[in-house]
Amino acid sequence: MVDTTRLCRAVDHFADRLRAAPQSRLQRGAAAEALGLAREFARWAQDLEASGAEPREMPDAGMFAAADQITVAVHDLALVLTDEGQVDDAVQLVEEAQKRAGV
């Protein structure tokens, strides 16, 4: 099992920043950025678990749920990652998404 602590911490930090962000920032794209990341992580986890299966898309549960959606998606992904390189890639995706979100 690979250590995913820094990935979970990075996502928890991003999620906390989203929860603290004003509604106007969420509406200007921060929530959409988080949902996009959650969907990417969900697809990645599904592919690792059942390669070749038809992926299910994470629904848009609204801007106030985006922080919870990335948290759930990354914890699901963390369970199926198999090497440190994947963790590095996922952390980089979180950091880039947080910068784009502006939080």
Per-residue pLDDT of the chain (103 residues; tens, 9 = 90+): 899 999 999 999 999 999 999 999 999 999 999 999 999 999 999 999 987 878 889 999 999 999 999 999 999 999 999 999 999 999 999 999 999 999 9
The pLDDT assigned to 23 comes to 96
The pLDDT assigned to 92 comes to 98
The pLDDT assigned to 27 comes to 96
CA–CA dist 32, 44 (Å, integer): 18
Cβ contacts of residue 84 below 8 Å, gap of 6+? 2, 3
The pLDDT assigned to 6 comes to 97
